[in-house]
Amino acid sequence: MKDLRIAVAIMNSPISETQANRDKMTGLIESASKQGAELICFPELNITGYTSREDIIQYAEPVPGPSTRLLIQTAKTENMVILAGMAEKDTKNRIYASHIIAKPDGTMGVYRKLHIAPPEKKIFTPGNTIPLFQIHDIHFGIQLCYDAHFPDLSTYMAAKGAHIIFFSHASPRGTSGQKFDSWMRHLPARAYDNSLFVIACNQTGDNKNGLVFPGVSMIISPSGEVLDSDTSGKEGLLIADLKAKDLNTVRNHKMRYFFPNRRPELYE
């Protein structure tokens, strides 16, 4: 992979304020662009806001739709890949927690959350595909919140060629420090076991629907070390350079790169 400058957003996303959320997101994208970022990642459902209540149904949008059109236009204008979250309603009125990948060339991808947490199951339908996406020669995957607790998903993405996995969250309760500590129990393992970069971010603040989110973001190297983090709880951007040498140092080391020595035939 080549070096890649990214922006990771912490954002407050109230339910029922889709237009305001989109406006705020556009401002953060413009700020990231001025700082040289080529890709920006937002938290889960940052456009529509997050809730596991039925309220979300009235704010869910089709894909393509108003929000995706805005994302594609902004990606073109700012020459940036945008990863942003929204509640998606399909033609059968099923609701998905989706993350949109909008590219400057006008193309778009969608990741639908695969693992639905127990409180969400009355509202959200799980996705059934595991796509990877690309910027330059870099392949990346996306996981949404509860997805992060299933190691097989990260292993599958690594086996398909992922260099980075973005973990976008709408994870409520606790302080930012407590959420950071919680993530430290499993996210460094996803990076270390699979020798890839892990990027994580969360919503922050009151969603005006009964939930309060602790803002936090972190960037973890392929050796499982935290390269940078933000536990201020405030809205804003974490800008970081993902360096090819950090990936190559691990993957070119015969004792530190475990992945090629797996024996998946035994596990079946």
For 177-194, write each residue's pLDDT tens digit: 999 999 999 999 999 999
- Taking alpha carbons only, the member of 14, 33, 133, 19 closest to residue 74 is 33
pLDDT bucket at 1, cuts 50 / 70 / 90: confident
Contact 168, 203 (CB under 8 A): no
Separation CA 210–CA 186 (nearest Å): 27
pLDDT reported for residue 226: 98
Angle of CA points 199, 203, 204, to nearest 5° = 125
pLDDT in tens, 136-184: 999 999 999 999 999 999 999 999 999 999 999 999 999 999 999 999 9
Per-residue pLDDT, averaged over 98-118, amounts to: 98
Distance from C-alpha of 79 to C-alpha of 40, rounded to nearest angstrom: 11
pLDDT digits (tens, 9 = 90+) for 190-224: 999 999 999 999 999 999 999 999 999 999 999 99
Which percentage of the chain shows pLDDT scores above 70?
A: 100
Cβ atoms of residues 38 and 8 within 8 Å: no
Pairing of strands 197-202, 164-169: parallel
Q: Please tell me the predicted confidence (pLDDT) of residue 9.
A: 98
> Which pLDDT score is estimated for 241?
98
Point out which residues pair with 142 in neighbouring strands: 166
- pLDDT range class, residue 85, cuts 50, 70, 90: very high
Query: How many angstroms separate the Cα of 158 from the Cα of each of 132, 148, 172, 228, 259?
Result: 10, 14, 28, 22, 8
Choose among 220, 209, 176: nearest CA to 8: 220
Determine the pLDDT at residue 173: 92
**Domains contained in the chain, CATH given:** 4-260 (3.60.110.10)
* pLDDT for 102: 98
| pLDDT averaged over every residue in the chain | 97
**Mean pLDDT, rounded, for 45-69:** 95
Residue 225 in contact with residue 246, Cβ under 8 Å?
no
The pLDDT of residue 267 is 87
How many C-beta neighbours within 10 Å does residue 229 have?
18
The whole-number pLDDT of residue 268 equals 80
Share of the chain above pLDDT 90, in %: 97
Residue located via tokens 């460094």: 188
Q: Under a CB-based contact definition with an 8 Å cutoff, are residues 241 and 3 in contact?
A: yes
Residue 213's region, left for phi above 0, alpha for psi from -120 to 50, else beta, is: beta
**Can you tell me the distance from the alpha carbon of 264 to that of 244, in angstroms, rounded to the nearest whole number?**
27
pLDDT at position 142, please?
Answer: 98
Please enumerate in sequence order all residues whose Cβ is within 8 A of that of 202, keeping only pairs 6 or more positions apart, or say none.
Answer: 10, 43, 169, 170, 171, 179, 213, 214, 215, 216, 217
